[in-house]
Amino acid sequence: MSAPTVNLNKQPKTSTKRRSKKADVGPVWDWAAGHGPVTGALSATTGAFAIATTGAAAGMPPTWALAVGAAGAIGHTITSLRDKLAARTTCMRAASWLLGAGWTTWAMTTGPLTWTALGSLATLGVGIGASARATLLHEEARELEALAAAERQVARELSAERRAIAAEWVDRIQRVCSVSVRVVAVEMWPTGTGFTIDAELPTGGVTYDKIARESARLSGDAKLPHGCTATASPGVHQGRVLIDVTTVNVLVEERTYPTDYSPLSVLSGLPWGLRTNGEEVRVYLREQCALVVGPTGSGKTNMVHTILAGFARATDVLTWVIDLNAGSAGLPWVGPALNDDGSFVDGMRPGVDWLASTHEEAVRMLDTAIAVMKERKRAYQDLLSKHNTDLLPVSSRIPQIELVVDEGAEILVSNDRATRKLGEKILEFIRIARAMGGRTVLTALGATGSVLGNLMIRREAKVRAALTGGETEGMDLSKMFPGSRGLRVDQAPYKGAGFMGTPESPAGLFKAWRILPNQIRDIVTATSDRHPTLDAKSARAAGDTYARRWDPERTAWMRDSTGPSSAGRGETSSRERLNLAALRDEVQPSPSAADEEALLRQFREEIDAQFGTTPGRGDEPPAGASSSGGLNLSANEDNPARDAALALLLAAGPDGTGASAIARGLAEEYGTTRQTVVGWLKSWTDDGTAVRVGTGTKARYVHHRHTPGSGGHD
Ligand SMILES: Nc1ncnc2c1ncn2[C@@H]1O[C@H](COP(=O)(O)OP(=O)(O)OP(=O)(O)O)[C@@H](O)[C@H]1O
């Protein structure tokens, strides 16, 4: 009693050939398709009518139709029960079979071609269609309800976990802080490292800090792992509290600086590290100065590099660095862009805009910075009134000047007269520059008390980070983060870990990213074309002192010890010391291999001591490494594009080649950009692998093996 239905959308499962043939001749009959209410009723009535007419004509015993109907009813009942359909659907299907079979039996007995028979069949069809539709709707509703019930079950299980957490913490807060809270919500962090409890404080003037004060005892009571805390902060209003509970310690792990060097803006925040919940902590420095405190060995220098990385990525920041400790904080950001003769590597700009390592240069820089700010105050009055603001609209056309002073806090409290003068200039800059787009990042070794005794720093530097590294001396967290309770140095006894607080996010644990010289070099290369230039009005005020800051005589000191690749330079030229892995097969053992070995070891130890970069220090040399030493800084085994570039340089012979030609040679296979090749060529000239000949557009790079007097080998 089943008729085929027309399905214009679904193709039957036939061979491709047959399918395409059928597709040519119109709609396809799908014998396997199920029935809807209309086609089902149509199918039942036409089937019954066909059997009744042919059965009557052929003299078929009418009871057969009844038997077939009964069998159909039983079969459909079984399948309906198996499919767990509703009782009313099962009954409707069985009744349709029985009614159809009953009509067929009656029609075969009395004759199917009478108006009574046809009329009753039509009525039967309409009845079957209507009840099929009703049961279909009922089935759909049942299915939706089943899905909703499953979702409710999952939610019940989740909220059971949350309810358990809520109950546990209500008890704990009562026990430890003697405060009865009512938990409004528990939010599990997507990073899976903890949860936040949102709770209502009891009436009677209890504030969130009654709980914040007991953070350490709460963490102890909850038996949280080391480095995990329960930190209370204000909720949506003063009668609510948020308690962040970390259950996994992310501070232990070393996390490298993200390799996404996309553009940033000082207005939309710069990432400085990770919170314990795995989220980035961003600092907003348009109006705030920053203070980073970290004793020796805590990871402060590394953190300064992370900060400089953020500024280098920003399109609206010019970074001026003062580091009276030989400029070491800024050097890795300048080295990759500077040639041996003091010129810039083709079209590159350093990652910082100005670097001062001496007292004199620092004075020049500060005088210039103050002059620029004063000029901006005068020259941009129209712009301020046009934008109806008293804050200079900082952009890539009028960039913010970020003055980064390594160990600047020590300068401020120095007893030395000349250094004190420098400190006064720094304070003047802080005092006058906020509105005009000038801010500072000062670092300090410790001595937080004396630094924060300065009102200007207390007021202007509200972005604060304290790297502890487990050091307690000079680390007064309550002065660094006034109002924050329960912060203890021993909660973050790891290098690069500590506490950070900003006006936007309360003081709490954080971890700085680890950033190594290779990555600094990559960032300098990747961001070289996005640094802003000083706006014309400011540049006029900055004058010659600023315009000539990169003059070769003023940068001579940088080239004596440019960046990481020159670390450990001794009397012997680095050319004699390097062994390039990519070319090892071609390396001939040199008669002075033993000397070379010793120099390489010394060089590697110095690099390791300073940057901790060479993996497997003290390990056996890797299989296949040449006996003349394992140091492999220039030819990077992990970077086949760089090796291929080196091979192209070597293949260019004594005529040499240029960045564009090498980039073209690599474009298809590696997609390397010219800018990247420029960075490599710079590092190879620094370490003596390549020699730069000619100037300007005629500049070529020659592999040192092809330079006169090289003897043709390493
Ligand atoms: N974010 C970090 N993650 C993991 N390890 C780090 C991190 N920062 C620093 N370190 C480790 O700590 C060591 C010291 O770091 P860094 O030189 O930055 O410290 P510092 O405080 O500047 O010390 P110093 O003043 O002696 O140079 C690094 O060699 C590295 O092993």
Ligand 1 centroid to residue 512 C-alpha, Å = 10
Per-residue b or e along 427-458, where b marks 16 or more CB atoms closer than 10 Å to that residue's CB? bbbbebbbbbbbbbbbbbbbbbeebbebeebe
How many angstroms separate the CA atoms of 425 and 359, rounded? Answer: 12
Strand partners, 47: none
pLDDT, position 561: 53
Instruction: Provide the strand spans (E) within 262-344.
Output: 270-275, 280-283, 290-293, 317-322
Q: Is 302 in the pocket of ligand 1 (CB under 6 A)?
A: yes
At residue 582, the pLDDT reads 34
In sequence order, which ranges of 484-592 are alpha helices (DSSP H)?
517-527, 536-547, 552-560
Answer yes or no: is the ipTM higher than 0.95: yes
Q: How far is the CA of 269 from the centre of ligand 1 (A)?
A: 24
Q: 356 - beta bridge partners?
A: 322
Q: What single string gives the DSSP state of each residue in 204-225?
A: TT--THHHHTTHHHHHHHTTPP
**Exposure pattern of 127-154 as b/e (b: 16+ CB <10 Å)?**
ebbebbeebbeeeeeeeeeeeeeeeeee
* Structural element, H or E, at residue 62: helix 62-82
Nearest CA to ligand 1 atom 28: 299
Would you say the CB of residue 495 lies under 6 angstroms from ligand 1? yes
Residue 277 DSSP symbol:
T
Q: Specify the amino acid at residue 292.
A: V
Question: Among the atoms of ligand 1, which is closest to the Cα of residue 305?
Answer: 18
Measured by CA distance, the residue closest to atom 7 of ligand 1 is: 496
Closest residue (by CA) to atom 25 of ligand 1?
296
DSSP state of 657: B
Judge if the beta carbon of residue 496 lies within 6 A of ligand 1: yes
Annotated binding site for ATP: 294-301
Instruction: Report CA(261)–ligand 1 centroid distance (Å).
Output: 22
Strands 400-405, 317-322: parallel, antiparallel or unpaired by DSSP? parallel
Q: Residue holding tokens 């999952």?
A: 154
Q: What DSSP string describes 8-43? A: SSPPPS--HHHHHHHHHTS--EETT----HHHHHHH
d(CA 648, CA 579): 17
Which pLDDT does position 626 carry in this prediction?
33
Annotated binding site: 294-301
Predicted pLDDT of residue 697: 66
Q: pLDDT averaged over consecutive 10-residue blocks of the chain (714 residues)?
A: 37 41 46 67 82 82 83 84 80 85 86 85 87 85 84 73 92 94 90 89 91 92 87 92 89 89 95 88 95 90 96 97 90 91 87 94 96 96 94 96 92 86 94 96 78 82 87 75 80 88 90 94 94 96 94 87 38 33 36 44 48 37 33 46 86 86 83 81 83 76 79 48
Decide whether any atom of ligand 1 lies within 6 Å of the 273 Cβ: no
The end-to-end CA distance of the chain, in Å, is: 91
Query: What is the reported pLDDT for 326?
Result: 84
The residue to which tokens 């009028």 are assigned: 398
Ligand 1 midpoint to CA 301 (Å): 6
Can you tell me the distance from the alpha carbon of 525 to that of 349, in angstroms, rounded to the nearest whole number? 8
Atom of ligand 1 nearest to the CA of 294: 21
Is any ligand 1 atom within 6 A of the Cβ of residue 116?
no
The residue to which tokens 């807060």 are assigned: 173
Out of 251, 292, 301, 611, give the residue to mutate to test ligand 1, the one with the largest number of ligand atoms within 8 Å of its CB: 301
Cβ of residue 306 lying under 6 Å from some atom of ligand 1: no
Question: In Å, what is the CA distance from 378 to each residue of 390, 425, 479, 566?
Answer: 12, 20, 37, 44
The Cα angle at residue 18 between residues 12 and 21, in degrees rounded to 5: 105
Rg of the chain on CA atoms, in Å: 39
Domains of the chain: residue spans and CATH: 5-146 (no CATH), 179-246 (no CATH), 270-560 (3.40.50.300), 574-614+631-706 (1.10.10.10)
Buried b (16+ CB within 10 A) or exposed e, 549-586: bbeeebbebbbeebbbbbbbbeeeebbebbbbbbbeee
Task: Give me ligand 1 centre to Cα 545, in Å.
Answer: 34
pLDDT in tens, 645-681: 888 888 888 888 888 888 888 887 777 878 788 888 8
* Cβ pair 310, 271 in contact under 8 A: yes
Determine contact, residues 103/51, Cβ cutoff 8 Å. no
pLDDT value of residue 248: 84
Q: Which residues contact 407 (CB under 8 A, 6 or more apart)?
A: 323, 324, 325, 443, 444, 445
DSSP-derived pairing of the beta strands 508-511 and 270-275: antiparallel
Q: Is the CB of 299 under 6 A from ligand 1?
A: yes
Is the beta carbon of 512 within 6 A of some atom in ligand 1?
yes
CA 12 – ligand 1 centroid, Å: 68
**Rounded to whole angstroms, how far apart are CA atoms 145 and 141?**
6
Is 301 close to ligand 1, i.e. is its CB under 6 Å away? yes
**What is d(CA 323, CA 329) in angstroms, rounded to the nearest whole number?**
6
Check residue 316 and give its pLDDT.
Answer: 96
Cross-strand pairs, 400:
317
Is there an atom of ligand 1 within 6 Å of 300 CB? yes
| Strand ranges across the sheet with 182-188 | 182-188, 194-200, 240-246, 230-234
Contact by Cβ (8 Å): 305, 657: no
Show the tokens assigned to 227: 């480095």
Q: Decide: 254 in ligand 1 pocket, CB within 6 A.
A: yes
- Please tell me if the CB atom of residue 298 comes closer than 6 angstroms to any atom of ligand 1: yes
> What does the alpha-carbon distance between residue 42 and residue 25 come to, in Å, rounded to a whole number?
25
Cα separation values, 48 from 104, 115, 324, 461, 585, Å: 6, 16, 102, 90, 89
